[in-house]
Amino acid sequence: MNTIKLKDILSISGKGGLFKFVAQARNGIVVESIEDQKRHIAPSTARVSSLEDIAIFTNEEELPLSDVFFLIHQKSEGNETISHKSTPDELKARFRELIPGYDEERVYVSDIRKVFQWYNQLHAHDLLEVVEKEKTDGDEAKDAPEAKDAPEAKDAPEAEDAPETKSVEKPDSKGEI
């Protein structure tokens, strides 16, 4: 499956718009506004969220924002989507078209508004890069039960050695002398 690349795109609580990560600073991080390309220092006390780490609640599991943006991108055929200034009913209806199983009790209209605003902002600045989705640790965990069921995994001799190794390392990890 494809997704939208959101690496180094940040949202900073209390500041409107989106930012690109530029560099690490002594007292925080240097960011550049996507809108006006002005650089700012976000102090280490600021609540900074990477769009890559944001997800939307659904009835089954959380859906990464990058996947939501990809769905919007597909539905709008690579063009802008509905305005974030649309009525709450219009926003909910469009969001329901994109993600039929989103959790309507935990995803507020303000969240939906922000998703469409961010998407349109990234689209306007040509920052929506479609990429092949990489396997994550969660994807590997889905594959793991098959590997555990394999006879080789159950009869592995290393499993017997593990407790001895742990007992030797345990006092060192606690700092005991």
- 31 pLDDT more than 80: yes
Q: Which pLDDT band holds residue 1 (cuts at 50, 70, 90)?
A: low
- 66 pLDDT more than 50: yes
At 110 the pLDDT is 93
At 150 the pLDDT is 39
132, 2 Cβ separation under 8 angstroms: yes
Mean pLDDT of 157-164: 40
* Alpha carbons 134 and 140: distance in angstroms, whole number: 11
Instruction: Check residue 48 and report its DSSP letter.
Output: E
CA angle 126, 101, 9 (to 5 degrees): 25
* Domains, the chain: 2-132 (1.10.10.1650)
- 155 pLDDT more than 70: no
Higher pLDDT among residues 167 and 61, named by residue: 61
pTM of the full structure: 0.71
Mean pLDDT of 89-109: 93
